[in-house]
Amino acid sequence: MQWHVWLTFFAACWVIAISPGSGAVLSMSHGLGYGWRRTLPTVFGLQLGLALILVVAGAGVGSLLIASEMAFLTVKVVGALYLMYLGVRQFLQKPSSPQDIAKTEPALTADRQAMQRTGTLPWQQRVLTGFFTNATNPKGILFMVAVLPQFIDPARPLWLQLLVLGATMCAVDSIVMNSYAASASLLSQWLKSYRAQLWQNRIFGSLLMAIGAGLLTVKRAQP
């Protein structure tokens, strides 16, 4: 891969990663609820889903999803329903009571508080949540199928190029998603009250549901 081609792809990765989407909302949501360190599994899961989409698109299966109405519809509906499920679950999540906050605040360190908040959501589940959020996103598949061919040289080994492109995209996306999570985690220090937690759950839950509903409007490209 030529240097200027990689630089162009590198710049495109930053634009894509910074653009608001389901991954950004999930990263900020978990950053607020669990703290930055406890959101690392979520970001890792997001990268696994991103890598899968890149391999699928690079191997040509993504073209099949675009060409097959039923296959694309299945992926679109599954992805939309999953995001809406996450949104409903967060919207209905019960915040810690003011008594619990007052009782634990002086005694617990920040790390132990984060562990307490994540007691009902193990790290394995956070990885899966991130993975399915990206892996079932038809917009990601559409983007990969549309963009990747522009950066792949047919005269060079395909899988080596996919490895370079995938590593670049995942590295950039990891930096951006961790930045979202860290920023949200800092805000959590000022958003610990019962009412603030309630509104956090409602806002991020509503955003996830809205993004999920928005996926249902994604149109299949004509073969």
- Do the Cβ atoms of 48 and 174 come closer than 8 Å? no
Beta-carbon-side half-sphere exposure of residue 33 (alpha carbons within 13 Å): 29
Residue 222 lies in a domain: no
Domain that holds residue 82: 3-14+22-215
Look at residue 92 and tell me if it is in a domain: yes
Please list the pLDDT of the chain residue by residue as tens digits (223 residues): 678 778 888 887 887 788 767 888 889 888 888 888 889 999 999 999 999 988 887 776 555 655 677 777 777 787 778 778 878 887 887 765 544 444 444 443 444 444 444 445 788 899 999 999 888 877 677 667 666 766 777 677 778 888 888 899 999 999 999 999 998 888 776 666 677 777 777 887 888 788 778 767 767 655 5
**Residue 221 belongs to some domain of the structure:** no
pLDDT of residue 8: 83
DSSP letter at 218 equals P
Total domain count, the chain: 1
Alpha helix ranges (H) inside the chain: 3-18, 22-34, 36-58, 61-67, 69-91, 98-104, 110-117, 123-135, 138-151, 158-188, 194-215
Question: What's the confidence (pLDDT) of residue 44?
Answer: 96
pLDDT of residue 214: 78
pLDDT at 141 (0 to 100): 73
Residue 161 half-sphere exposure toward CB, CA atoms < 13 A: 20
Asked if residue 151 belongs to a domain, the reply is yes
Integer Cα distance of 36 and 82 in angstroms: 23
Cα separation, 141 vs 43, in Å, equals 19
Q: Would you state the structure tokens that stand for residue 131, as one six-digit string?
A: 């993975």
pLDDT at 116: 45
Q: What does the pLDDT read at residue 115?
A: 44
Q: State the pLDDT at residue 168.
A: 93
pLDDT at 202 (0 to 100): 85
